[in-house]
Structure 1
Amino acid sequence: MTPPEVVVTGIGVVSAAGVGVDENWKRIVSGEPTADHDPELDGLPVDFACRVPDFNPVPLLGTREAGRTDRYTQLALVAAHEALTSSRLRLENTDSTRAGVVLGTVSGGSSTMERQEERLLLAGSSAVSVRTMPMGLVNMAAGVLSIHFGLQGIALTTATACASGTNAIGVARDLIRSGAMDVVLAGGTDAPITPLSSAAFHRLGALSRRCHDPAGASRPFSADRDGFVLGEGAGILVLENERHARARQAPRLAKVAGYGASADSHHVTRPHPEGAGARRCMRAAIADAGLAPADIGHVNAHGTSTRLNDEVENAAIASIFGDQVAVTSTKGVTGHPFGAAGALEAAYSVLTLTTSVIPPTANLTEPDPRITVDVVAGTARHRNVGAVISNSFGFGGHNASLVFTAA
């Protein structure tokens, strides 16, 4: 029996580019950076980040629920509400045992954990909140979404570093193709902008040190890039069995046509120097979609703005596509929101398909001569693309790619 097609019927996004799809897409297409000084990082060597502006979950969640959830869960809840609204899915008419959640995250409730450790050190164990673990655990965003929306099928968390959100969407697609689920809220969420994260990644040499020019700090594929910028956000896609979506006359935005994953098996922080794992991952996703490289019209690159990662991804893309495909990294706008990155970029990939607009890579004013692929710079390109591949690569050698095609 042929596995069912899996379609995207709803999208919800929250990032430093704004709250909601429309606000995000406008800023992504304009290539307008978001990085700015962050008061929470005052006194640290890197004191800027890409934080969601004026984020207030209370109007949607209420004071009680907002007060007992970490920021990373709040971001996911807000994105999920938008995704479900746009999908026109009426949960009361859906078999809840065949509807689930798969979310990726890296940091989980790290902000809660850091605040409570400060309380422990300053005032002792009695000062630690009883909500610390329910708010801080990495699985809790998926659990809270399951509870909040009454989804009883599965509540699963993927933790594959910066590939987490992409893996979550791939796993969700496979659950639907297997026949286990009809509907899955899939994506990623992270809120890692904390003093400890900033200090730790600075010590690792991974963060941009462009404190004099935060807006210009995230500059993927640029000759003078010097590291990534901490970001935060959430991206949620409503994935459905296509037959289920057709039966309820749902909007079908795109098909999740292909998924590939691989492991570098090389180093805990550095990618394979020849991009072997990234190549396998992309080829697997393209083959899974039943396509050839020539069918791919756009690559939404991982493109972190770190020197080594951008070079390795360039080599991997070039080995498959040459210079015949348009490449974009949206992290020049959003920074790097870790486990949410792949989910946000999956959403932007779907929007490229539905709007026929390929966004530019922000801050790319001086291309690195070692980057040989066709990186979109300056302004967006208006072009129909039949298929988009979205890449995510993470510490530990985790690689994941998704292929989206028109529905």
Structure 2
Amino acid sequence: MTDFSIGLLGIGAMFVLLILRMPVGMAMLAVGFFGTWMLNGFRSANALMVTEAFSHVSNYNLTVIPLFILMGNIASVAGFSRGLYEAAFAWVGRAPGGLASASVLGCAAFSAVSGSSVATAVTIGKVALPEMARFNYAPGLATGAVAAGGTLGFLIPPSTGFVIYAILTEQSIGQLFMSGILPGLLLTALFIATVTIISLRNPEAGPRGAYIPFSEKMAAGLRAAPLLGVIIISIGGIYLGVFTPVEAAGIGAGLVLIMALFTGKLNWSTGSKAVGDTVRTTAMLFLIIIGAAVLNPFLSMTQLPARLGEAMTTMGLGPYGVLFLIVVAYLILGMFMDGLAMLVVTVPIFYPIMMQMGFDPIWFGVVAVIMIEMGMITPPVGMNVFVVKGIARDVPMSTIFKGVLPFWFAMAVCLFLIVIFPQIALVIPQAMF
């Protein structure tokens, strides 16, 4: 059996393990370890696993993961997310579909704290969905707005998706964070436009909220100002070069912790829950990183990425034709795999091809993340759809999937614009560095 055949066998085995619900990190670790054993022997496989696991877990830059996750968890258990949602509703609630638009804005703001799509959908969904039900919003619009808005957590910095992409491709975490700002704002605007169009076509689906005086709008904004200030300090500090992403994570987590203690919203029970959730999520992400670190050398030894790149090049499709094939592959994989699994499985294969085609690595990171976001609301898996279903138990799954469909097309428009105008993703990181 040739090395290339062993590589194909390994990829097939990994998909089988994922279908059998083995954790993503363990599936990659198993395939990488046993594949290297078949190619180079047990001693080489064991040395690879030990050295790669230690070198990646001890990577100082990965400290951003637990710190940003802790920041989001403290903000969630302290109830700061409700302040973000109430401020958004005060300012846009009067517009058609105002509650749904406020949910999208709340998701965008909380994404800049949590860095997790699932955490964003759960946190904002628990606040927004009961309110939209009280105002008789169409279940599809309400759940679709929250499920789609939650995906912003994977794009708007600090994004765990960008951190993992940076580790897999050895790119700058700071540049990737900055590259997600304008696409994140663009996608937020497209989601709000989608809500507005749906509500204008069917006013009963998204009725306008009550009139709120300007003084109450300002009061709601002031209540959300401290957390918004933490976001501006963290992300703005990275942009201005005042501190690194790791330092920004530490400062952000420390400020949110001080706010929660000062307002009396953090006690032993909520603090323990925040720390426990942080440890569990960090362990899961680090296992994925270790698994990818062991899998990638195995794939390189089999020459699978290089052979696949050569095959795509010889087809004569050109750079954008190859990009189209990769987009189609992401769409298909999104029907069956969760976001992180897609990221760590595909980037080691697609990244060398994109570099061979002359695309910018930071730009491709944004494209890959948006494609993975689309997978989060694509049936039959759609991780965020299942998360929202857990909150809105009385809404049928088919209704939620129909509700997210217009937002899926909004994501497609965003992706198209970033492909046509790459500077949307690159202007800020290029200005920084």
Q: 1 or 2, which has the higher helix percentage? A: 2
The TM-score bracket by the shorter chain reads: under 0.3
- TM-score by length of structure 1 reads 0.25
- TM-score by length of structure 2 reads 0.24
- Larger of the two Rg values belongs to structure: 2
